[in-house]
Amino acid sequence: MACPNQRGGDEPIYTSAEGRPLHDPTTQLVLQGPKVRGGGLALLEDTQLIETLAHFPRERIPERVVHAKAAGAWGEFECTKDITDITSACIFSKVGKKTKALARISTTSGEKGFPDTVRDIRGFALKMFTEEGNYDFVGNDLPVFFIRDPIKFPSLNRSHKRHPQTNVPDASMFWDFHNNNQEVNGFGVHTFKFGKVDDGTSKYVKLHWKPEKIENLKTEEAGKLAGQEPDYHVKDLYNAIENGDYPVWTLNLQIMDPKEAETYRWNIFDDTKIWPHKDCPLIPVGKLTLNKNPENFFQDIEQAAFSPSNMIPGIGPTADLMLQARMFSYPAAARYRVGPNYQQLPCNKAQYVYNPYQRDGPSRYDGNYGADPDYVRSSFRKIKTIKPNDVTHDEWVGKVSNYTSNVEDDDWVQALDMWNLLKGSGDDELFISNLSGHVGKALPEVQKETIRMFAKVHKEIGERLEKALEKASENGPDHVKAPYGLQSAVGGGY
Ligand code: HEM
């Protein structure tokens, strides 16, 4: 990137943030005493010192409450299959069409400096800068999610983070949450709608991004790297792109006709369920290549704000409750974390925006629509209205009622299918050993509940877990004596 101040040629002249040329960034004004050697008094008129020190503690923005640690890069999405028969989404308008993209790949529970080889969910967020607005994909590396009830999301995450008193990640909290909230894991996250704006037809769709290359780390290796190379994956992505070894993902769709959805074996709006590939095969429709590292991580990646609510005409949400809640939560997080004008930043900015009814706010720098009317239906500047272009929800008419998700027998079926796939492959051994490694750090009574939960999938898992835990207990308990339950008076406790 060109140096912002070329007055000194290749060696720019240092200035204040207001552009005043300055003698040297390391000097300050001091009042020196005639009687004592060294030291001095600082002056309020030393704008250079004050600006430097005042800006420093404001360099941090709040880190993301989840998915704080990440690597990111720029790239492009290419359409490889004609699916104009099901959607008018412009990224798919022509085979070979390319759309600029920004990706951010994260861990979930740890903070910004946390090691990135630890066992955790990986986030996969993508923004595609289309001519009809930004289209964001915000997914995980698991095809299903832990819960289907959005009100539990903050609790889920707190139980995976640090204990409120010891400040250490805590296996008892983790498993206590899951023992008592048994929405069983599987694969495949939300269901979206792909539709045609002209005729109103639509299909239900799940999206899967499949990497061309994939390598997994064994627990011991990951643990060692967490100490030696806490930024192992961040470096890996950065170096691969620098070396021209661009990572590539294929976008695959599972497509279901709304008629089929009415009688399908699974509730298609439950994000804890997959659609088995034998029912809905994966159809490759595009390719993502990451080919450019950020010029500046904070500017391009930290300030990037992704949201499942960013959809383009031809793609729409469904009655998936988790998706509905997320559509509120991400823009709300961005307004808090980056500020109400976050959409103006180059990493978030859509190609064409005319939105004069959202004005002012901190850090507005795009001209703020000058004298354009800031109220709707002004006769001084008319706007062109177009036909509605949403994918509609014509199948939903009903009454409002309370919803609490309960676990039913059916919820264990896909988990059992998964176990049957693992069994005898060697991966079952790995699963039991990884699971017992973590459960073994929880309190004995929590361990018992967790064994009971896994036995509901298959009693063999419960038995094998119990045996592995007996062995793990020979290594002794976790060495933080965390208190649980009500330790303090309600509302304080000092
Ligand atoms: C990040 C909320 C479920 C994947 C976030 C953030 C919030 C949030 C507040 C931080 C955003 C920011 O500061 O910019 C929620 C809520 C959920 C939910 C309320 C459920 C009700 C999910 C699910 C997935 C997911 C089901 C995966 C399918 C991600 C990813 C990020 C993220 C990948 C990081 C995005 C980035 O790189 O900036 N979530 N989330 N979340 N979430 Fe969720």
pLDDT of residue 178: 86
Among protein residues, the one with the nearest Cα to ligand 1's atom 30 is 123
The partner residues of 174 in beta bridges, in order of sequence, read none
CB 22 within 8 A of CB 16: yes
The three-point CA angle 340-152-327 to 5° equals 35
| Closest to 100 measured CA to CA, from 70, 118, 127 | 127
105 lines ligand 1 (CB under 6 A): no
Among protein residues, the one with the nearest Cα to ligand 1's atom 34 is 67
CB 274 within 8 A of CB 186: yes
Among protein residues, the one with the nearest Cα to ligand 1's atom 27 is 139
The partner residues of 207 in beta bridges, in order of sequence, read 253
314 lines ligand 1 (CB under 6 A): no
Q: 365: alpha, beta or left, given left = phi > 0 and alpha = psi -120 to 50?
A: alpha
pLDDT of residue 1: 47
139 lines ligand 1 (CB under 6 A): yes
The partner residues of 9 in beta bridges, in order of sequence, read none
CB 114 within 8 A of CB 316: no
142 lines ligand 1 (CB under 6 A): no
The three-point CA angle 381-385-388 to 5° equals 155
- CA of 276: how far to CAs of 249, 331, 417, in Å? 21, 32, 10
330 lines ligand 1 (CB under 6 A): yes
Q: For residue 306, which atom of ligand 1 is closest to its CA?
A: 38
Pocket test for ligand 1, best of 66, 124, 328 (most atoms within 8 A of CB): 66
Burial of 427 by CB count in 10 Å (0-12 exposed, 13-18 middle, 19+ buried)? Answer: exposed
Predicted complex ipTM? 0.95
Count CB atoms within 10 A of the CB of residue 156: 19
Rounded-to-integer distance, Cα 176 and Cα 213, Å: 36
Tell how far the Cα of 153 is from the centroid of ligand 1, in angstroms.
10
64 lines ligand 1 (CB under 6 A): yes
Match 């207990």 to its residue by tokens: 473
| Closest to 434 measured CA to CA, from 411, 465, 463, 459 | 465
Q: Which residues are catalytic?
A: 67, 140
| Strand, coil or helix: 436 | helix
Contacts of 414 (CB under 8 A, 6+ apart): 144, 184, 186, 187, 273, 274
Q: What are phi and psi of 273, to 5 degrees?
A: -120, 145
Q: What is the pLDDT along the chain (494 residues), one digit of tens a residue?
A: 445 556 667 789 999 898 899 999 999 998 988 887 888 888 999 999 999 999 999 999 999 999 999 999 999 999 999 999 999 999 999 999 999 999 999 999 999 999 999 889 999 999 999 999 999 999 999 888 888 888 888 888 888 888 888 888 888 888 888 888 775 533 337 889 999 988 889 999 999 999 998 888 888 899 999 999 999 999 999 999 999 999 999 999 999 999 999 999 999 999 999 999 999 999 999 999 999 999 999 999 999 999 999 999 999 999 999 999 999 999 999 999 999 999 999 999 999 999 999 999 999 989 999 999 999 889 999 999 898 888 888 787 788 888 888 889 999 999 999 999 999 999 999 999 999 999 999 999 999 999 999 999 999 999 999 999 998 776 666 667 788 876 555 555 55
Tell how far the Cα of 256 is from the centroid of ligand 1, in angstroms.
25
283 lines ligand 1 (CB under 6 A): no
Rounded-to-integer distance, Cα 164 and Cα 67, Å: 19
pLDDT of residue 6: 60
Q: For residue 336, which atom of ligand 1 is closest to its CA?
A: 13
Among protein residues, the one with the nearest Cα to ligand 1's atom 26 is 145
Q: What is the CB-side half-sphere exposure of residue 329 using CA atoms within 13 A?
A: 15
pLDDT of residue 188: 37
